[in-house]
Chain A
Amino acid sequence: MNSSERAAAGDSTTGTAAGDRRSFFSLVAMGLGLTGAYGTFAAMAARFLYPAKPPDRRWMYVASVTEFAHGGGVLFSAPNGQAISVTRLTANGTVEDFIALSSICPHLGCKVHWETQNKRFFCPCHNGAFNVEGISTAGPPFDAKQNLARFPLKVENGNLFIEVAVA
């Protein structure tokens, strides 16, 4: 509608300079109010949709250090169901003797298993292979220079702990 119709509708201030200024201010006020409020609402919706932060990580008990013979290992079941192989590689009496490797292949997420006869971790999906330290030696992971993920370990009071995500 144009200003003449608006005047007929009872708005007597249009057409004057003061009227135009006032209508500008009211327009700005309206615009700010609407965009501020609905904009914030939309921002909150966006924040809501943004995926939550990664889950807490916790130190969990694996076993007593004495339960690991040299070269021996245990399969630790993380709370999210992942099987992590924890092995003792050396016997220097420190936490560096141990290694905790994820059993999820970094290529496309299949589960690797340990082949005792070949002394390697093997992934059946695309024949990826890793050595005892989780470094890739063959297959797509080797080509992409991807290794098995390692988990932090610590030794406290003769007990081995691993840091994993709490499900």
Chain B
Amino acid sequence: MTLKAKQYIIGLLGMTFLGSLVFVQWMEVARKQAEVGKASGHVPIPARSRTCIECHGKQSPGIVDHWKGSTHAEKGVGCVECHLADKGDVDGFSHYGEFIATVVTPRDCSKCHEKEFNEFEHSHHARAGNILASLDNFLAETVEGSRVPFNPHSPTPGKSVDMVNGMASAVVGCQQCHGGKVGLRTKDGGMATVDDFAPGPDGKPTKLALVDQLVRNDEGKPQFHADTWPNTGIGRINLDGSLGSCSACHSRHDFSPRRARQPENCGKCHLGPDHPQKEIYEESKHGVAFRDLLQHMNLDSRKWVLGVDYSQAPTCATCHMSAHSKNNGKVTHNPGERISWTNRPPISAVLDTDAEGKLVTATDPEERRMLTTFSAVEKRNNMKQVCLHCHTPDYVNGFYQQYDDFVALYNEKFGKPGQAIMTALKSNGLLTKQDFDEEIEWTWFYLWHHEGRRARHGASMMAPDYAHWHGMFEVAERFYMQLIPQARELTRHAETDGNPDAAKAVNAVIDEILARPEHDWSEIRHKGAK
């Protein structure tokens, strides 16, 4: 090979080598760009939480991983910032150098999220724990279970069951959504709750008698009563007197707002035969649109304002809580601010509320006007502002007319009459004092608590099937084929059992109802009266 040839080859190979280096540089640029685009894996760990992360990163790595993906982590809010307990807190204990508590209550969150805390504490969500004194509770605690432990029926192979915890259905069912009352175990086998510690407005206990009686582990950590923890029910009654649990919607430890914007989040509790909001939403056009356009919903955006960041479809949060372009991008943690009917009771009520946020029940219009500080009309207008993003005023008003008509239909044809019949039976002594021990009590419960309620919910959120077939159809069937005949049966028994006055009184009520034109369609009033 000649020298010249070699020189040209060297030149050519040099250029090829140079080309390969250019390619290397291209890869380097791409790598740097990808690195910038990626969320920095490097989360600054606040100094005080470093010990926590070191240990819990190995013991419960999921907790640390979730936290690392949160906005808290980005801003340097670590473990201690939330879990720190004050010296007076009853559930506090010393753990590797810090005095902490397991349960982070809304009061703890309010240190930084005061606005949300105030809105939430005034909402109906925070009062969900009131179920503990309701009819539903009676069902779970007594009908399905037992308020005191009872002996097992027979031995269970492979497990020693000493006593049966009759509260289990309430604990695992009702209280997991509605919230239980957080209790610490006491040495006598019982538990101490907020009622025993009577915390003041600052969350500190005023009655300290039971603090010495708390069962503690080797570390000094007070032990929770298993019936009350774990529990992230939205109306949980905490030891510091605050109500609720922020992690009910903003699951820990990433506290993702993205998740809270999606219907599945609310659907953990707002579903089922008695309030199938999730199923109703999925049936409705809103839900259909959401499912289809999920990727375009901009769920990760910081502010998530309807009409600005997204407009494809509304979710639960959109209508009931989220910020939109017509209210200056203001989020509310009180969904009650936009609801005009309360469909929870047997008979729907207009949601005029007083200064304390309680329902105004006065019948006199003048009295109502005086007591009402936040009227149902105002609430409805708040909701309409959301609707108007995608619907015109005639459309919106027309819908509300349809909705109002439906609620009125239910109320007047079935709700009030049913209530009247049950009241008549009770007041005339034809029902025992005990709830749910007679068939008609279950019938009535199904009618208003399940079928009637879901009919009204179906109407409120544009789900025709739930309004009609799953709703009013079943209400009507229940009313005509079960409630009325069962009531008539009771009066018949009353007559034969020597209580003709009671029978007459109740029959009068039933007759009066069935004589009305809306019930005149059938022969039903003629039956049973004989």
Contact = CB atoms under 8 A, between A and B. Distances in A.
Nearest to B42: A166
Interface in A1-52: 6, 9-11, 13, 22-23, 26-27, 29-34, 36-38, 40-41, 44
Contacts of A23: 3-4, 7
A144 B17 CA distance: 53
A157 interface: yes
Kindly list the 7 A-B residue pairs having the minimum CB-CB distance in the complex, ordered from nearest: A33-B14, A60-B76, A77-B47, A29-B11, A33-B11, A26-B7, A37-B17
Given A30-B7, A33-B10, A159 B15 contact: no
B433 to A, nearest CB: 53
Given A11-B3, A158-B112, A58 B8 contact: no
Interface residues of B, number: 34
Contacts of A62: 76
Contact of A79 (B7, B18, B45, B113): B45
A151 interface: no
A78 B48 CA distance: 10
A157 B112 contact: yes
A33 B15 contact: yes
B4 A61 contact: no
Given A41-B21, A158-B112, A58 B11 contact: no
B104 to A, nearest CB: 15
Nearest to B25: A44
Nearest to B5: A26
Contacts of A108: none
A39 to B, nearest CB: 9
Contacts of B18: 33, 36-37, 40
A12 to B, nearest CB: 9
B75 A60 contact: yes
Contacts of B115: 157
B226 interface: no
B148 interface: no
Q: Is chain B's binding surface mostly helix, strand, loop or mixed?
A: helix
What is the interface residue range for chain A against chain B? 35 or more
B216 to A, nearest CB: 29
A127 interface: no
A122 interface: no
Q: Is chain A's binding surface mostly helix, strand, loop or mixed?
A: mixed
A164 to B, nearest CB: 8
A81 B3 CA distance: 63
B161 interface: no
A77 B111 CA distance: 20
Given A10-B2, A77-B47, A157-B115, 15 more contacts: A11-B2, A26-B8, A27-B7, A32-B15, A33-B10, A33-B13, A33-B17, A37-B17, A38-B17, A44-B21, A59-B76, A60-B46, A61-B75, A61-B112, A157-B114
A115 interface: no
B483 to A, nearest CB: 53
A10 B8 CA distance: 17
Nearest to B1: A10
20 contacts: A6-B3, A10-B2, A11-B4, A29-B7, A29-B10, A30-B10, A31-B11, A33-B15, A36-B15, A44-B21, A56-B40, A58-B44, A59-B75, A60-B44, A60-B46, A79-B45, A79-B46, A79-B47, A157-B112, A157-B113
A33 B21 contact: no
B24 interface: yes
Interface string A60-92: 111010000000000001110100000000000
B77 interface: yes
Contacts of B76: 58-62, 161
Interface string B69-101: 000001111000100000000000000000000
Given A26-B11, A77-B48, A161 B25 contact: no
B136 to A, nearest CB: 37
Given A40-B18, A61-B76, A79 B44 contact: yes
Given A23-B4, A26-B4, A33-B18, A77 B46 contact: yes
Interface string B14-35: 1101100110110000000000
B12 interface: yes
A79 B43 CA distance: 10
Interface in B200-225: none
Interface in B229-266: none
A157 B71 CA distance: 15
Interface string A93-108: 0000000000000000
A56 B74 CA distance: 12
A9 B1 CA distance: 10
Given A40-B18, A61-B75, A167 B44 contact: yes
Interface in A151-167: 157-159, 161, 164, 166-167
A38 B17 CA distance: 8
